[in-house]
């Protein structure tokens, strides 16, 4: 997989359309010209790219009035790739330009498509698209970090370090790794204590110690529950994957740029396509040449029939206090063995908590009055019945207002779950220790693990309003 060009474009008010960073790779462009022949479309100048991107992404009129076709919340972007019209409608086009939008930044790259331009190959069949999106995701983490919007001087510093980082992770336009998160400089950039050992410029680090291959498979479940309706999806895995005989096929697979070859059928399953009929169910094999640092080999989504923990939350207002009732049920397919399990119940836009009269059937309750928060610590196991309840009342007093949230007004409230279950995945996906093959003179020790972790796991108050759509849901 190779990249012809890379751009970081700002669409912030006052500097919309400014190119903050760009990089072109002439050797890759030469290959693109050779492959396309007479159908070759050259990458235009940087001054042209921002306007084309802003137009295609519907951001040209971002500071003007509401436009239904652009601003309607029901509008869904069905494709991660856009087509840039170089000469206007009916003229030459640049495809596929991959984009990731983060705040006021647009990250874009043009991967090399090693196939004739016409007829245009199906997008899911192109491994370069999957790897390009993974590269942009790493670039997003490097520039913006976990907070999503770094300070201007921090962003400028990270953009200044980007050329040096690209020399390590994307030499000559061929990604071997993804940029490290939160602006960290990879260890390969720093001087190595290897002395006179000769290492290639694109892998300058020297490993010391026993060779170990550690493959960790982590599934993160997101859930939005409100009354009887819920939605959830799982993602994030590191490893070589197999599914049980009755397992649902994995979807939306993105692979790290270090993957050297990939079966196109692995990439065809897409959760956005309602008519997707892919029946590929593994095994999923990923040959790769790994970087020295810890990295994400691939990510995926998978359909989940029910949440691992089904919850009910009822909050009723009475004079100067609130009646609280929470019921949590652990699904029978989930192992009743947690590393930790907690339910956080915040109360926004209220005076500070005065007193709490609440009983729990399992675990213990902690009260943070200054944060207007109840923390229900369920511990490492649910009761034998697999059901736990919290019931009581919360009284508020004084004139000091606690934390506020513009969304949680009236009876709009939620319970947020935090849990981790070792040695379990909802999809049944696993990493077979014997399937990890290492072609090296070293005999590394191979370690495989798996776990299920909560991520944005909400249970909304069923007696109030909740921001849950009843339309088409992607699991």
pLDDT at 304: 77
Q: In terms of pLDDT, which residue wins out, 18 or 283?
A: 18
User: Residue 349 and residue 406: Cα distance in Å, rounded?
Assistant: 8
Q: In terms of pLDDT, which residue wins out, 290 or 108?
A: 108
| pLDDT confidence band for 4 (50 / 70 / 90) | very high
Q: What is the mean pLDDT of residues 153-162?
A: 91
How do residues 297-320 score in pLDDT, each as one tens digit?
Answer: 888 888 777 899 999 999 999 887
pLDDT at 224: 86
Residue 300 contacts residue 220 (beta carbons within 8 Å) = no
The pLDDT of residue 64 is above 60:
no
How do residues 388-423 score in pLDDT, each as one tens digit?
Answer: 999 999 999 888 889 999 889 889 999 999 999 999
Tell me which architecture the domain covering 2-173 has in CATH. 2-Layer Sandwich (3.30)
User: Residue 424 and residue 450: Cα distance in Å, rounded?
Assistant: 6
Q: In terms of pLDDT, which residue wins out, 177 or 109?
A: 109
Distance of CA 362 to the CA centre of its chain: 33
Sheet holding 351-360, edge to edge: 309-318, 321-330, 387-401, 351-360
- Write the CATH number of the domain with boundaries 211-474: 2.60.40.1170
Strand 212-226 with 445-460, pairing: parallel
User: Residue 89 and residue 75: Cα distance in Å, rounded?
Assistant: 23
How do residues 179-237 score in pLDDT, each as one tens digit?
Answer: 877 656 554 444 444 444 444 444 444 556 677 888 888 888 888 888 755 555 544 33
Sheet holding 373-377, edge to edge: 229-235, 212-226, 445-460, 414-422, 340-346, 373-377, 364-368
What residue ranges do the domains of the chain occupy? 2-173, 211-474
Alpha-carbon dihedral 359, 364, 368, 369, rounded to 10 degrees: 20
Q: Who contacts 272 (Cβ-Cβ below 8 Å, separation ≥6)?
A: 76, 78, 252, 474
Paired with 231 in beta bridges are 224
Residue 40 contacts residue 33 (beta carbons within 8 Å) = yes
Sheet holding 81-85, edge to edge: 18-24, 3-10, 105-111, 93-102, 81-85
């Amino acid at each position: 997989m190779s990249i012809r060009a890379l751009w970081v474009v700002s669409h912030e008010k006052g500097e919309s359309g400014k190119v903050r960073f760009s990089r072109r790779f002439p050797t890759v462009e030469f290959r693109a010209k050779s492959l396309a022949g007479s159908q070759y479309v050259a990458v235009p100048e940087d001054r042209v790219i921002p306007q084309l991107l802003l137009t295609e992404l519907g951001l040209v009129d971002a500071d003007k009035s509401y436009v239904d076709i652009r601003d309607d919340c029901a509008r869904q972007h069905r494709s991660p790739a856009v087509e840039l019209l170089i000469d206007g409608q009916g003229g030459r086009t640049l495809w596929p330009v991959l984009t990731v939008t983060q705040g006021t930044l647009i990250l874009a790259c043009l991967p090399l498509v090693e196939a004739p331009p016409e007829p245009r190959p199906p997008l899911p069949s192109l491994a370069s698209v999957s790897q390009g999106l993974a590269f942009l995701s790493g670039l997003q983490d490097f520039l913006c970090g976990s907070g999503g919007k770094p300070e201007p001087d921090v962003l400028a510093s990270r953009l200044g370090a980007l050329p040096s980082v690209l020399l390590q992770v994307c030499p000559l336009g061929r990604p071997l790794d993804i940029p490290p998160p939160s602006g960290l400089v990879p260890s390969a950039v720093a001087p190595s204590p290897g002395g006179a050992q000769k290492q290639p410029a694109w892998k300058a680090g020297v490993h010391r110690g026993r060779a170990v291959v550690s493959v960790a498979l982590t599934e993160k479940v997101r859930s939005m529950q409100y009354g009887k309706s819920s939605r959830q999806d799982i993602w994030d895995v590191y490893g070589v994957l197999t599914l049980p005989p009755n397992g649902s096929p994995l979807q939306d697979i993105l692979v790290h740029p270090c993957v050297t070859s990939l079966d196109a059928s692995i990439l065809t399953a897409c959760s956005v396509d309602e008519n997707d009929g892919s029946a590929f169910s593994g095994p999923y094999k990923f040959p790769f040449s790994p970087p020295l640092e810890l990295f994400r080999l691939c990510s995926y989504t998978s359909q989940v029939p029910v949440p691992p923990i089904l919850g009910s939350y009822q909050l009723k207002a009475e004079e100067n206090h609130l009646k609280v009732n929470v019921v949590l049920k652990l699904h029978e397919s989930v192992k009743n063995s947690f590393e930790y399990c907690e339910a956080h119940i915040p109360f926004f836009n209220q005076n500070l908590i005065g007193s709490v009269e609440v009983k729990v059937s399992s675990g213990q309750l902690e009260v943070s009055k200054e944060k207007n928060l109840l923390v229900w610590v369920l511990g490492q196991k649910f009761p034998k019945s697999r059901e736990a309840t919290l019931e009581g009342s919360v009284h508020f007093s004084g004139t000091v207002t606690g934390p506020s949230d513009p969304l949680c007004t009236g009876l709009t409230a939620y319970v947020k779950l935090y849990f981790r279950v070792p040695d379990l995945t909802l999809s049944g996906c696993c990493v077979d220790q014997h399937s990890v093959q290492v072609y090296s003179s070293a005999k590394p020790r191979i370690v495989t693990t798996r776990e299920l972790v909560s991520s944005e796991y909400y249970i909304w108050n069923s007696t109030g309003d909740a921001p849950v759509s009843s339309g088409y849901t992607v699991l």
